[in-house]
Amino acid sequence: MSASVALATVALPRLHLSPTTVVAMSWNAPTAPDRPIDAFVTVPGSKSMTNRALVLAALANAPSTVVGALRSRDSDLMIAGLQAMGARIDEDCSGAQPVLRVVPGPIGGAEVDCGLAGTVMRFLPPVAALAASDDGGPACVRFDGDEQARKRPMGSVLGALRSVGVDVAGDALPFEVCSSGYRPQGGTVTIDASASSQFVSGLLLSGARYASGLEVRHSGGRVPSMPHIEMTVEMLRSAGVDVAVDGSHSPSWWRVVSGPIAGRQWVIEPDLSNATPFLAAAAVTGGCVTTPWPESTTQPGEEIRPILEAMGARVVFEACASGDNSDGALGRLRVCGPSDGVLQGVEWDMSAIGELTPTVAALAAVASTPSHLYGIAHLRGHETDRLQALAAEINRLGGACEELDDGIRITPAPLHGGVWHSYADHRMATAGAIIGLKVDGVMVDDIETTSKTLPGFAGMWSDMLGLASDGAV
């Protein structure tokens, strides 16, 4: 690599997807150009923040606006589910950022398509427990989703609803939640959240609307992805909800006091987890990528910074020029890879940041020394069994990835081209794109699965690299 390419600005096109529209498309993952990349990449809003804000807005005591909301398959499924249960949600695209206007309405019976969205299948059943028919009587909400979604664990949240008197038929998709027509009493529920932090978040988001509030106690192994629960707590408090949390290093209980949820304006941060493949591209190619980044955040994607530094990249954060990070003002994060393109492996506890594992595993697969990623047994219950999938696909390309009880170990090995299977998992697809930067002939079998949280990924990737085509076939 010699001369640098002109700075490229990459922005997400505004798309309006049908919640169930995902078209499989094979994609020749482009290899890095023979010049260092230098791109400015803008990713859309955080899926995690968008879907939490939508639930809180639908349960609020007044209308809300959601500024910079993500529009993707997952968020569109959340919008459709809340609309089916009675909320009015309109989109205003006249400004620089899309704005969703949410007017809460009486919650009623409905059918909800969860697709493959964990936030929909785990956040909306506690909302459905509040449903009532037009005459104030019982109402039922039926949930179903993609075939893969029927394998995802649901027992903890459904069992918790049963324990507070809600009628639930089924223990996994498809299932039905039937209310009595009255608010659930609430109280204390004990669950095993070791398979997903979403069980805790889903119960907390609706808990303030239950008659006695809700206290969620965890009994089991370590709760994964704790930053997502911290995000839920912070957003509840921002909506005026009184939340108490076990003050220990590893919280085991959370209490939401019964009371109103305030309507307000939500400003959604960029999705930092979706930004990580682009930052990884800088590390792999020896180029630089800059992206908008909040000064402080509860998003797990923040933790990519020390990982990239440990692997040999240079990471620099520039604060907002005005010094004012209120109202969603953002700084910039710039990542530059080592000039020789040689990355070091890492040993890293990924338990709190499991969603970053595919990105880090892809980096490890092209690193010069071994890596051990651990604390992530819960990834077996995500969109696919990510540990098994990562090991299978890295090894398929000639790598040496060993699947462990709670993680993976990757040893440097020469890689070759071939088909990289996505398993209908958006983060598996982007991992294949990262490896393709260094390995010629990698074909991702279903790049459009990235529309789950990042529509237009293939085009953004090509724009970052300064290429004219996204390689779809």
**185 known member of a binding site:** no
- Residue 148 counted as an annotated binding residue: no
Annotated binding-site residue? 152: yes
CA distances to 65, 177, 414, 465 from 57, rounded to whole Å, are 8, 21, 50, 39
- Integer Cα distance of 66 and 79 in angstroms: 12
Q: Which residues contact 10 (CB under 8 A, 6 or more apart)?
A: 39, 40, 41, 42, 278, 460, 463, 464
Residue 281 burial (CB < 10 Å; 0-12/13-18/19+)?
buried
For residues 273 and 413, what is the distance between their CA atoms, to the nearest angstrom?
Answer: 27
* Structural tokens at position 242: 């009184």
452 is in an annotated binding site: yes
Q: Per the annotation, does 88 bind a ligand?
A: no
The active-site residue out of 269, 302, 303, 355 is 355
219 is in an annotated binding site: no
How far apart CA 329 and CA 336 sit, in angstroms, is 23
Is there a binding annotation on residue 441? no
Per residue in 325-341, is it b (16+ CB within 10 Å) or e — as a string?
A: eeebbbeebbbbbeeeb
- Other beta carbons within 10 angstroms of residue 16's beta carbon come to 10
Type of residue numbered 182: Y
Is 225 annotated to bind a ligand? Reply is: yes
Q: If we measure between CA atoms, which residue out of 74, 56, 77 comes closest to residue 65?
A: 56
At 162, give phi and psi (nearest 5°): -60, -40
* Six token digits for residue 244: 């108490």
Q: Is 315 exposed, middle or buried (0-12, 13-18, 19+ CB in 10 A)?
A: middle
Q: According to the annotation, is 372 in a ligand binding site?
A: no
Active site residue 355: yes
Least Cα distance to 416 among 472, 366, 466 occurs for: 366
438 is in an annotated binding site: no
So which residues are the catalytic ones?
Answer: 355
* Bind-site residues for phosphoenolpyruvate: 47, 118, 152, 198, 386, 427, 452
- Binding site: what residues are annotated? 47-48, 52, 118, 152, 196-198, 225, 355, 382, 386, 427, 452
Please give the annotated binding residues for 3-phosphoshikimate, written as ranges.
47-48, 52, 196-198, 225, 355, 382
